[in-house]
Copies of this chain bind each other. A is one copy, B any other.
Amino acid sequence: MEGNATSNTHPHVVVIGGGFGGLAVARELAHTDARVTLIDRRNHHLFQPLLYQVATAGLSAPSIAAPLRQILRGQPNVTVLMDEAIGVDLDQHTVKLARGDITYDALVVATGATHAYFGHDDWERYAPGLKTLEDAFAIRRRVLVAFERAERENDPAQQQAWLNFVIVGGGATGVELAGTVAEIARHTLPREFRRADPRRANVLLIEAGPRLLPAFAPDLSDKARKQLEKLGVEVRLGTSVTDIDAQGVMLGDTPYAARTVLWAAGVAASPLGRLLGAPLDRAGRVLVEPDLSLPGHPDVFVIGDLASVTQSNGQLVPGVAPAAKQMGRYVAQLLKARWRGTTVDKPFRYRDDGTLATIGRMAAVAQFGRLKLSGILAWWVWLIAHIAFLIGFRNRLVVMLDWGWAYWTYQRHARIVTGIDERDRPRE
């Protein structure tokens, strides 16, 4: 067993998950006596807000990801371990890892969320979601290969099915994917195909609810829909997907032939939440105390997308990067106060610094309290904010360069297909 908990005066903080929340805990504990062990299945932190750009061939993966141990190398009290947490023994203060156990004085669980198919797990095969770099490569492969197959297809109906794209879910990810796929079809590819004109592509964005981007004010939802339609996306609100298979989707009782379906509809909390034995909300998030600790376990905290925290206005803290960062800093400050022998009296409070969603070329919506923006101005705010929050000078520079290049040429530099298209794999 590693990380003996009581033999020295340096408290051992184990953080599971190297996303925005986990990283904020580790950074906020710099220059303290604490020993921090950050555990992640992957070797990298991922800047998820730009993941859709990797999926749509605008950015390379290394531009939006950085090795966790490189980010934290200047912090000698942090040890990074690439390993997978498979259980927690709250009585023994021990985390069970795939390659051994580790004990803690304080534990922070920040393993985030994954996509959910509402009981239709068989849809995943036909409609991949977007949470990891592997997901992004799979979506990139599907979208690019679909145009290749259309070019190779002689039957007109089959060809059109390869040129039909359905995106399920009208939240930020669905809107971003739909806008970008439409731009690729209309502007990036046309001159390159000789048989199947990419401009014949249909991009359908399906949302079961009454409006897009429910996190925004209704008038911004409406503006987002209009901007998407201008980019060539067909938006269908109040429409439910009742089935998905290799040939397309069922919209209510109406089949729609589309060989490429992308899933941006459902999010479920990481399965590690269930293993903590605490009450969960409907989406599987852990119902934490106002100080983000696990009920009955003041040394265990759950933060980020995995935590279910209700604000004073009755709404849940949203599953966004700024909220995860704020939770991480809050927990680290609470621990520091506790080690000093004092306490943090205030419960966690989410400070909403604004919400942004991009739609496509010079199209975005933004909401800062009462200030609402849309169109070009919102797009510039979105662009500058995302460059600013990227990690690493090299990445900021290259992303700016790639965006500038893409803007002027309509080209997307990462149009590289690797790996196997799932649609070619025979079903077992």
Interface of A with B (CB < 8 Å)? Answer: 2, 42-44, 60-63, 65, 67, 69-70, 72-74, 76, 79-83, 99-100, 132-134, 137, 144-145, 148, 151-152, 154, 191-195, 392, 394-395, 397-398, 401-402, 405, 411, 413-419
Give the docked Cα–Cα distance between A241 and B191 (Å). 51
- In the assembled complex, how far is the CB of residue A287 from the closest CB belonging to chain B, in whole angstroms? 33
Give the docked Cα–Cα distance between A44 and B192 (Å). 13
Each complex incorporates copies of this chain amounting to: 2
Give the docked Cα–Cα distance between A287 and B281 (Å). 70
> Are B145 and A70 interface neighbours, CB within 8 A?
no
Q: Give chain B residues whose Cβ lies under 8 Å from the Cβ of A137.
A: 418
Q: Give chain B residues whose Cβ lies under 8 Å from the Cβ of A398.
A: 398, 401-402
Q: Which A-B residue pairs are the 5 nearest by beta carbons?
A: A60-B60, A62-B414, A82-B148, A69-B192, A73-B192
Give the docked Cα–Cα distance between A394 and B191 (Å). 20
- In the assembled complex, how far is the CB of residue A394 from the closest CB belonging to chain B, in whole angstroms? 5
> Are A44 and B416 interface neighbours, CB within 8 A?
yes
- In the assembled complex, how far is the CB of residue A68 from the closest CB belonging to chain B, in whole angstroms? 9
Q: Give chain B residues whose Cβ lies under 8 Å from the Cβ of A415.
A: 43-44, 62, 67, 70
Give the docked Cα–Cα distance between A62 and B54 (Å). 11
Give the docked Cα–Cα distance between A81 and B133 (Å). 27
Give the docked Cα–Cα distance between A137 and B418 (Å). 10
> Are A44 and B417 interface neighbours, CB within 8 A?
yes
Q: Out of B402, B413, B417, name the residue touching A43 (CB < 8 Å).
A: B417
Q: Give chain B residues whose Cβ lies under 8 Å from the Cβ of A148.
A: 43, 81-82
For A57, the closest partner residue in chain B by CB is B62
For A63, the closest partner residue in chain B by CB is B60
Q: Give chain B residues whose Cβ lies under 8 Å from the Cβ of A79.
A: 194-195
Give the docked Cα–Cα distance between A70 and B191 (Å). 9
